[in-house]
Amino acid sequence: MKKTITVLIVISFLLLCSCQKTAKKTFFALDTVVEIKTYGEIPDGAEEYVKELEKVFSKTDTKSELYLQNEKEESTPSKLLYGLIKRSLDISADTKGAFDITSGALTGLWDEAAEKGALPDAESINACKENCGYEKVRAENGSVYKPKDLKFDLGAVAKGYIAELTVKKLQSLGVSSGFASFGGSIAVIGDKPDGSGYKIGVRSPDGDGVIGYTVIRHGIVSTSGDYERYFEYGGKRYHHIIDTATGMPSQSGVRSCTVISDDGTVSDALSTALFVNPSLLDELYGKYDFEAVLITENKTVITTAKAEFVITAKDYSPADR
């Protein structure tokens, strides 16, 4: 397994003038490096707040609320966990399972494969597929009902949601400008003090450099890419985003998908969904409030109407749509 997590999005933190002090805090949580940068001081308690959320949503911590809840057929989770499960189930249905939070059995199988550096066999893949499916779960009046062997995996949505909650917390503590980065999801807080927005670059799937950039003033940016976490076997790459229809790493022709939204649940979940099934773009664009930038293996860039993405890489061009 490639352990280093590539930074999929880059964000500029420079001011036109250097008139205001900046602060930075870095720590490890949710299996990624968390970075908070603000203009002015970072208030006390930011890291502790993220660590509290990690206790609820962590996929790997065997004491997390999610982990314990996954063992049960019936449960009444905390409001926070129930809320994210409920919304994620709705998005799973709207994306026809391209994003599916009930894919824990399959993603677990592929996580194990990555650890071992060997492919799972077809029988195991089919057995795990049987234990996935958002339509097998009910979330009603604060309670969740699911088959015992069906496991939630919030890995494709929790970081976007937590990024949103973290900037809201920072704002409530007086921060008016800055950002919080959780690997593939970055949440920005307001304009920079000089009034300019944040320049967000989308990394090239093939190495250093960026494909282009957009400027945002608020919201959460999430990127899913095939070059982020992967292992190699028999000269082929196997990445970490699974198409639950095939049980295999998705092969949709998309190398990376970036989604920008004021809703971190939407940005993170849809970045995964559109990476797996880009043909859902128009339908989802009509239903949710977001902009998207998809980089394809043919070196084309698909953008939604108001994404305002500027392509700077010479070998990439806008897709005909």
Provide the binding-site residues for ligand ADP, judged by CB under 6 A.
99-101, 103, 107, 153, 155-156, 159, 183-184, 224, 228-229, 240-242, 244, 268, 271-272, 276
Determine, following the binding rule CB under 5 A, whether residue 268 of this chain makes contact with Mg ion: yes
Alpha carbon of residue 93 to chain centroid: 18
Residue 201, contacted partner among ligand ADP, Mg ion, none, CB below 5-8 A by kind: none
Per-residue contact flags (x/-) with Mg ion for residues 224 to 263, judged by CB under 5 A:
x---------------------------------------
Determine, following the binding rule CB under 5 A, whether residue 100 of this chain makes contact with Mg ion: no
Residue in 14, 12, 36 with CA at minimum distance from that of residue 194: 14
Q: From residue 224, how far is each of 25, 271, 290 by CA, in Å?
A: 24, 6, 15
Length of the chain: 321
CB nearer ligand ADP, residue 46 or residue 114: 114
For residue 219, with 0-12 CB atoms within 10 Å meaning exposed, 13-18 middle and 19 or more buried, which class applies?
buried
Determine, following the binding rule CB under 5 A, whether residue 167 of this chain makes contact with Mg ion: no
Determine, following the binding rule CB under 5 A, whether residue 156 of this chain makes contact with Mg ion: yes
Q: From residue 293, how far is each of 189, 209, 274, 301, 307 by CA, in Å?
A: 21, 16, 10, 7, 7
**Tokens 């190398």 found at:** 255
Supply angle C-alpha 260, 263, 269, rounded to 5: 70
Shortest gap between Cβ of 22 and ligand ADP (angstroms)? 26
Among 69, 75, 272, 303, binds Mg ion (CB under 5 A): 272
CB nearer Mg ion, residue 139 or residue 154: 154
CB nearer ligand ADP, residue 202 or residue 242: 242
Residue 146, contacted partner among Mg ion, ligand ADP, none, CB below 5-8 A by kind: none
Determine, following the binding rule CB under 5 A, whether residue 271 of this chain makes contact with Mg ion: yes
Q: Cβ(88)–Cβ(97) under 8 Å?
A: no
Residue in 87, 91, 73 with CA at minimum distance from that of residue 143: 73
Stretch that binds Mg ion, among 86-94, 221-229, 245-253, 311-319 (CB under 5 A): 221-229
Shortest gap between Cβ of 191 and ligand ADP (angstroms)? 26
DSSP state, 158? Answer: H
CB nearer ligand ADP, residue 22 or residue 271: 271
Stretch that binds Mg ion, among 74-82, 124-132, 272-280, 303-311 (CB under 5 A): 272-280
CB nearer Mg ion, residue 214 or residue 271: 271
Residue 241, contacted partner among Mg ion, ligand ADP, none, CB below 5-8 A by kind: ligand ADP
d(CA 307, CA 234): 38
- Which is it for strands 300-303 and 317-318: parallel, antiparallel or unpaired? parallel
- DSSP annotation string for 23-72: EEEEEEETTEEEEEEEESPPPTTHHHHHHHHHHHH-SS-TTSHHHHHHT-
Stretch that binds Mg ion, among 36-44, 213-221, 249-257, 265-273 (CB under 5 A): 265-273
Residue 276, contacted partner among ligand ADP, Mg ion, none, CB below 5-8 A by kind: ligand ADP
